[in-house]
Amino acid sequence: MIVYTLKRLLAGVITVWFIATATFIAMHQVPGDPLLNDKAVSAEIRKNLERRYGLDKPITHQYLIFLRNMLPPNPDFGISFTQQNRRVNDIIKDHFPVSAILGLLAIFFSAAGGVLFGALTAIYRNRLPDIVIMFLVILGISVPSFVFAALGQLLLVNVNSLMGYSLIPVAGWGSFTHMLMPSLVLGLGTMALLTRLMRTSMLDVVNEDYIKTARAKGLSPQRIFFKHQLRNAILPVITVLGPQIAVITTGGFIVELVFAIPGLGRYFVQAVQQLDYTVIMGTTVFYGAFLVFMVIVVDILYGFIDPRVRVQ
């Protein structure tokens, strides 16, 4: 298990290095100039700006400096181009927790909903609940999140105006009630995905020999369902949950914009639009490392849920 974990970690480090290098190359290939702004500046000021961000050095030199600064234990991604007195490290430190809380809540909604609805559809296969839920699932997968975000917010506005006071805030950040609608919206897509996955997996499991054995032993249907069917069927769900956590905690740009949430997703997208080199590198490497880490965590977690993995 330890060797396995170490191997996975090493592979993870190489993956992150690869992500960083690819991003660095791609970023410098993007046409445009990060230092240009609405007002043109003189050659002298331009030179000073280049020096400040190290852009006066050859590209290979810039890459080496970047790699050196990125090394643990104290990775330093430098100063943002657009927010010139903020360090990229501070941007990540300030805004990732917001995205993470939102993401975790979204994952909670989607996992709970996904497992519940997935199990329901499997139990009521080809009957009305199944058809209704599967219709909603297709809707959930195919409708983009900005539509749900706008609809969700509109719903809150209408509910609040009906109530005569603000029951649930329509946007902003700070209290638990602020998080409800955005995390639900953020989790919808994943919930739909997990529902489908759970349904298929439940239907696969139901024909397995061990279920038949359990039934033959005379176990109660509840016990069969919870102890044997659900526990086995949930495995594929856990597999996708890991990467999905990373996707959700990083992919909330639209939701963050609509609900005025100070998450990292906003900075990430804006950085790309503004060619903010340091923030692009910082957030990509951070997200990359986070994604890789989540996959490893899930792999290890697998061992606990399914003893067969440990034996292999």
d(CA 95, CA 55): 27
d(CA 123, CA 233): 13
CA dihedral 38, 42, 43, 46 (to 10 degrees): -50
What SS3 state is found at 126?
coil
Question: Footprint of another protein on residues 21-50 (CB under 8 A)?
Answer: 30-34, 36-42, 44-45, 48-49
How far apart are CB 182 and another protein at their closest, in Å? 11
Is 94 a residue that touches another protein (CB under 8 A)? yes
The answer to whether 147 and 189 are in contact (CB under 8 A) is no
Question: Footprint of another protein on residues 194-253 (CB under 8 A)?
Answer: none
61-99 b/e with 16+ CB inside 10 Å = b? ebbeebeeebeeeeeebbbbbbbeeebbbebbeebbebb
d(CA 291, CA 12): 10
CB of 124 or CB of 173, closer to another protein: 173
How far apart are CB 84 and another protein at their closest, in Å? 5
d(CA 176, CA 173): 8
How far apart are CB 266 and another protein at their closest, in Å? 7
d(CA 84, CA 53): 10
Which position among 89, 160, 200, 239 is part of the footprint of another protein (CB under 8 A)?
Answer: 160
CB of 45 or CB of 59, closer to another protein: 45
Is 312 a residue that touches another protein (CB under 8 A)? no
d(CA 71, CA 69): 6
How far apart are CB 17 and another protein at their closest, in Å? 27
Q: Which residues contact 220 (CB under 8 A, 6 or more apart)?
A: none
Question: Footprint of another protein on residues 248-267 (CB under 8 A)?
Answer: 257-263, 266-267
Is 176 a residue that touches another protein (CB under 8 A)? yes
d(CA 126, CA 245): 31
Is 296 a residue that touches another protein (CB under 8 A)? no
Which position among 86, 203, 208, 239 is part of the footprint of another protein (CB under 8 A)?
Answer: 86
d(CA 23, CA 29): 10
Is 85 a residue that touches another protein (CB under 8 A)? yes
CB of 33 or CB of 204, closer to another protein: 33
Which position among 107, 192, 224, 247 is part of the footprint of another protein (CB under 8 A)?
Answer: 107
CB of 16 or CB of 295, closer to another protein: 295
How far apart are CB 14 and another protein at their closest, in Å? 27
Binding region for another protein (CB under 8 A): 30-34, 36-42, 44-45, 48-49, 52, 82-86, 91, 94-95, 98, 101, 104-105, 107-108, 111-112, 150, 153-154, 156-157, 160-161, 165-166, 169-177, 179, 257-263, 266-267, 273-275, 301
